[in-house]
């Protein structure tokens, strides 16, 4: 839409132009009026109209002087001259000022709209050219960074072909003398939390914002070009470049740059990043080695020491020999999954994480390897137990776990532990569903479970969730089959076992209560008395007396 300014000291003429103009058809949505040239100049500055219609004969500042000023200060402004005289001087000045048209008073509808259409057509053509130019510039500015990203990443992946792609190296300044390159790598530890809270769950927007922030940071002529690693979702690669300088000086500046990046991302977005710094190389084709060094720096960071803050790792730090593996515990976990006992499964995982803490050192790299191993082991087990392949996550891919509702943010060891527990619960649920669907239900299964796990905290919800049956229906089936409820049967098994254990005089009553799943000796004694009408001590004494008579 366009804006028009009418400058004329005669109100009837201004009103006539307002009435006669086909403004809607001409895409004009704003019309303003000025009564003389001076007022017109002020309104030019304030409202910036696209078309000005000016009378040549006015008080204060006439049309001729007005056009001279416009020609000097607003050379792109389109003007239409209005005059009551077919005067040559006015016509000559109008032509010199490159006006769009010249209208004689009284203005008629046809001439007015033809002149306005001519001006609007010029404006439309100009806008189209500007749009095309902007589109070309945007396309170039968008494609150039993408091209640079592909060049750098192919070098880092060691897939860049120098002979066939030599010409592209000039785009990253590799043909300039004394130009040096190095890699900084950032791993966003709390990416999912930041993505959800600050970027409306838009990962591409997050990566774009992070890259823009990093690219704006400069430390002593050390500049960055950054991009998200397309194969590592949490990873951002920043290639730093510098001309000349001593190795120690460049290393110091690279460290300063990394600290500034980590601090800025934390301040702006609340991001917790682990950073690694690679040494510079004089040949850009050796950038892969710098990248590997930066990644090694991140992987060497001790996860046990992370407290939810950003950290920068050191690649040359002496690596601890870590041999954490879950494979020897997998048979126990499998048994718990097959039995449908999620609490037992989680206790197996808790014992394992406890052993990691006891080791005193657990690197981010070890956490990555262990998570991949556990996913592979659990996938194999779940597959053998009938879980469909589409329910199993891909090892080493955060996105596949996130699709299952599992948060993969790990900024502390507690979060890593929570991730393993969440994984255990997920596999338990999938195995439970698969086994429930794959075999007919028999109430004997519940009885067998109680017979072998009477010492656990057995809840009916364990069976309702496992077999997809209602509580009422399950209890009804059990009572029909065995003549008592599930809780009553658990109590019976425990009490029968209690009598058996009490016959062993070497066992203390406290020990027996714990073996039966009672945490409190007094509670066990009360339960025993309610069931047999005498206390455990009285029962033991009675048995001893009977044996003495024999």
Reported as a single tens digit per residue, the pLDDT across 116-149 is 999 999 999 888 887 777 656 655 555 678 888 9
pLDDT at residue 535, rounded to an integer: 92
> pTM value?
0.58
* Cβ atoms of 255 and 314 closer than 8 Å: no
* Cβ atoms of 300 and 367 closer than 8 Å: no
Query: What is the longest distance spanned by two Cα atoms in the chain?
Result: 147
404-428 mean pLDDT? 94
- Euclidean distance between CA atoms 68 and 97, whole angstroms: 7
Of 247, 317, 237, whose CA–CA distance to 281 is shortest?
Answer: 247
The sheet with strand 101-104 has its strands ordered as 28-34, 2-7, 51-55, 78-83, 101-104
173-186 mean pLDDT? 91
Q: Bin 405: left if φ > 0, else alpha if -120 < ψ < 50, else beta.
A: left
Q: What angle do CA 262, 180, 291 make, to 5 degrees?
A: 50
Please provide the distance, in angstroms rounded to a whole number, between the alpha carbons at the two ends of the chain.
114
pLDDT at residue 134, rounded to an integer: 63
Cis amide bond preceding 59, omega within 30: no
Distance of CA 414 to the CA centre of its chain: 20
Q: What angle do CA 53, 59, 61 make, to 5 degrees?
A: 65
- Euclidean distance between CA atoms 432 and 430, whole angstroms: 5
Give the pairing type, strands 311-312 and 273-277: parallel
Assign 356 a pLDDT band (cuts: 50, 70, 90).
very high
Name the least confident of 21-35, 159-173, 199-213, 278-292: 159-173
User: Which residues, 6 or more positions from 295, have their beta carbon under 8 angstroms from its beta carbon?
Assistant: 185, 276
Q: DSSP H helical segments within 100-178, as ranges?
A: 109-156, 162-165
- Euclidean distance between CA atoms 420 and 374, whole angstroms: 9
Q: Bin 221: left if φ > 0, else alpha if -120 < ψ < 50, else beta.
A: left
Does the pLDDT value for residue 319 go beyond 70?
no
pLDDT tens-digit readout, 531-547: 999 999 999 888 888 87
Instruction: List, as own/partner pairs, every contact residues 170-178 make where C-beta atoms lie below 8 angstroms and the sequence separation is at least 24, other chains included.
Output: 171/144, 171/147, 172/148, 172/225, 172/239, 172/284, 173/241, 174/284, 176/243, 178/243, 178/244
3-state secondary structure of 235: strand
* Cβ atoms of 210 and 265 closer than 8 Å: yes
Which one of 1.10.10.60, 1.10.630.10, 1.10.287.1060, 3.40.50.300 gives the CATH number of domain 444-549? 1.10.10.60
pLDDT tens-digit readout, 57-72: 888 888 888 888 988 8
Length, in residues, of the chain: 550
User: Which residues, 6 or more positions from 379, have their beta carbon under 8 angstroms from its beta carbon?
Assistant: 392, 393, 395
Domain spans of the chain?
A: 2-128, 176-312, 327-438, 444-549
Q: Which residues pair with residue 28 across a beta bridge?
A: 2
Decide: residue 328, CB within 10 A, 0-12 exposed, 13-18 middle, 19+ buried. Answer: exposed
Q: What percentage of the chain exceeds 70 in pLDDT?
A: 93
What CATH fold (topology level) applies to the domain 2-128? Rossmann fold (3.40.50)
417-440 mean pLDDT? 86
3-state secondary structure of 105: coil
Decide: residue 62, CB within 10 A, 0-12 exposed, 13-18 middle, 19+ buried. Answer: middle
pLDDT at residue 87, rounded to an integer: 59
What CATH fold (topology level) applies to the domain 176-312? Alpha-Beta Plaits (3.30.70)
* Cβ atoms of 277 and 312 closer than 8 Å: yes
3-state secondary structure of 26: coil
Q: Which two tokens stand for residue 159?
A: 């897939």
Name the DSSP letter for residue 61. S
DSSP characters for 279-335?
A: PPBSSGGGHHHHHHHHHHHHHTSBGGG-BSS-EE--TTSPPP------GGGHHHHHH
pLDDT tens-digit readout, 473-507: 889 989 999 999 999 999 999 999 999 998 888 88
**Which residue is it, tokens 């956490």?**
367
pLDDT tens-digit readout, 443-474: 888 899 899 898 888 888 888 877 777 888 88
pLDDT at residue 318, rounded to an integer: 45
304-319 mean pLDDT? 78
pLDDT tens-digit readout, 228-244: 999 998 999 999 999 88
User: Which residues, 6 or more positions from 17, have their beta carbon under 8 angstroms from its beta carbon?
Assistant: 6, 8, 53, 107, 112
* Cβ atoms of 411 and 190 closer than 8 Å: yes
Q: What angle do CA 106, 111, 117 make, to 5 degrees?
A: 135
User: Which residues, 6 or more positions from 115, have their beta carbon under 8 angstroms from its beta carbon?
Assistant: 80, 100, 101, 103
Name the DSSP letter for residue 386. T
pLDDT at residue 340, rounded to an integer: 82
- Euclidean distance between CA atoms 11 and 458, whole angstroms: 94
């Amino acid at each position: 839409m366009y804006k028009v300014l009418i400058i004329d000291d005669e109100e009837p003429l201004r009103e006539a132009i307002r009435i006669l103009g086909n403004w809607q058809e001409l895409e004009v949505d704003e019309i303003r009026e000025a009564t003389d040239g001076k007022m017109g100049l002020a309104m030019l500055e304030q409202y910036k109209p696209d078309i000005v219609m000016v009378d040549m004969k006015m008080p204060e500042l006439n049309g001729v002087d007005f056009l001279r000023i416009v020609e000097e200060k607003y050379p792109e402004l389109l003007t239409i001259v209005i005059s009551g005289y077919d005067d040559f001087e006015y016509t000559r000045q109008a032509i010199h000022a490159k006006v769009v048209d010249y209208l004689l008073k009284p203005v008629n509808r046809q001439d007015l709209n033809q002149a306005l259409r001519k001006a609007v057509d010029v404006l439309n053509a100009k806008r189209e050219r500007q749009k095309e130019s902007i589109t070309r510039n945007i396309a170039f500015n968008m494609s150039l960074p993408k091209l640079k990203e592909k060049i750098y990443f192919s070098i880092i992946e060691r897939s860049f072909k120098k002979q066939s792609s030599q010409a592209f190296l000039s785009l990253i300044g590799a043909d300039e003398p004394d130009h040096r390159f190095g890699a900084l790598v950032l791993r966003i530890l709390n990416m999912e939390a930041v993505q959800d809270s600050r970027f409306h769950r838009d990962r591409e927007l997050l990566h774009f914002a992070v890259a823009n922030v990093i690219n704006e940071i400069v430390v002593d002529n050390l500049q960055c070009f950054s991009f998200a690693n397309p194969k590592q979702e949490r990873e951002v690669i920043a290639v730093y470049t510098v001309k000349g300088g001593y190795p120690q000086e460049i290393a110091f500046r690279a460290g300063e740059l990394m600290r500034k990046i980590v601090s800025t991302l934390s301040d702006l977005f609340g991001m917790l990043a682990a950073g690694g710094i690679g040494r510079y190389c004089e040949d850009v084709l050796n950038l892969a080695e710098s990248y590997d060094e930066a990644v090694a720096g991140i992987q060497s960071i001790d996860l046990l020491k992370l407290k939810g803050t950003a950290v920068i790792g050191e690649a040359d730090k002496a690596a601890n020999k870590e041999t954490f593996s879950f494979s020897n515990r997998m048979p126990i976990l499998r048994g718990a999954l097959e039995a449908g006992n999620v609490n037992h499964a989680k206790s197996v995982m808790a014992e394992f994480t406890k052993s990691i803490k006891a080791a005193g050192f657990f690197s981010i790299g070890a956490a990555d390897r262990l998570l991949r191993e556990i996913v592979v082991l659990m996938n194999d087990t779940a597959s053998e137990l009938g879980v469909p392949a589409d329910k199993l996550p891909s090892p080493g891919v955060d996105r596949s776990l996130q699709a299952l509702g599992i948060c993969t943010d790990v900024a502390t060891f507690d979060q890593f532990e929570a991730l393993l527990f969440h994984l255990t619960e997920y596999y338990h649920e999938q195995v439970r569903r698969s086994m429930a669907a794959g075999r007919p239900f028999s109430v004997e299964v519940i009885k067998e479970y109680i017979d072998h796990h009477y010492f656990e905290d057995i809840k009916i919800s364990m069976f309702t969730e496992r077999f997809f049956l209602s509580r009422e229906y399950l209890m009804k089936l059990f009572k029909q089959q065995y003549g008592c409820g599930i809780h009553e049967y658990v109590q019976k098994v425990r009490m029968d076992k209690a009598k058996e254990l009490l016959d062993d005089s070497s066992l203390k009553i406290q020990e027996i209560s714990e073996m039966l799943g009672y945490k409190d000796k007094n509670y066990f004694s009360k339960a025993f008395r309610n069931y047999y009408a005498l206390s455990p001590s009285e029962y033991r004494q009675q048995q001893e007396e009977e044996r003495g008579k024999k």
